[in-house]
Structure 1
Amino acid sequence: AKETRDVLVVELRRLGALVTEVPAYQTRRIEDGVVRLREALASGAVDAVTFTSSSTARNFAEQFSDEERRAWRGRVAVASIGPITAATAAEYGLATDVMPGEYTIPALARALADYFARAAWNAGRRPRRSV
C-alpha cells in the first residue's frame, strides 16, 4: 500500500536485501455517500463499523466531528483488524469493541458475527440490519 508502515522494508534492508517498493494499491477517501452514512449513523441504522487498516480508521473518522463520533459511542460497535488499527481508531475516540486474535479479514468477520450473536443472545433480540 502507498500509505503503509515501512517496518518490512526497513527490516529487509537491515538484513542486507535490496528492496524496491512498488505500492500495489492506494487508500483514498471517497466523498460520495458520506451524507447517507452520516444520516444512517445518526439515526441508529448502523450496528457496526469495521476497520481493516489504520488508513481506513483515519479516513472514516476524519469525515465526522468529535461530537458526531461521541454520539455513536456505545451504540455503534467498532471492529478493528488488529492492535495498530485499534490504536489509530482510539486516537479519534473510537474505542474498539471487536478485535480478532488472528489479524485477518476472515477472522475479523467471524469475531464480529460472534460479537453480535452474543449481544443478541444477551439482549434476547436480533441486531438491526446494517445499511
Structure 2
Amino acid sequence: MTLNQQRAIREVLRSMGLIGESLSLRQLVCAVELAHTEPELLRRITKGLYPAVAAHFDQATPATVERNLRLIRDHQWNKGDQERLREMAGFPIRVKPTTGEFVDIICYYMEANGAFDD
C-alpha cells in the first residue's frame, strides 16, 4: 500500500468524523488496506482479518483488534457522520453495521472512487 493510498483512506475516515492518530484508527486503516489486497479476509473476519491486522502491530492480538475496530465503528455511528456512511455504502443503512460491514463499506467506497488505482 502506498503512502498516497494510506493518506486517501485517512481523508475518507476524516470525512466520516474519524480524526486523530489513535491505535484504533491506525488499525482501521490497516484493515481497509488488507481488505483491498485480500478481499477473502472480509469473509473470515474473526479468523482472517483480525489476526492479519494484529500481525502488523506489536503486542496486538486478534481480540484487541476486534475491540478497537468495534469501538471506532461505534464512535463513528454514535458521534460521526451517519449520513456520510450511508452515502458511502450506496444503500440504506437503518441499523449500525457490523464491524466487517463497516470495513467493507469503506473499502468498497475507496475502490469505487479510484483511491487504490496507484
Q: TM-score, normalised by structure 1?
A: 0.29
User: Whose relative contact order is higher, 1 or 2, with alpha carbons under 8 Å and at least 6 apart?
Assistant: 2
Q: TM-score, normalised by structure 2?
A: 0.31
Structure ranking higher in helix proportion: 2
Structure ranking higher in strand proportion: 1
Larger radius of gyration: 1
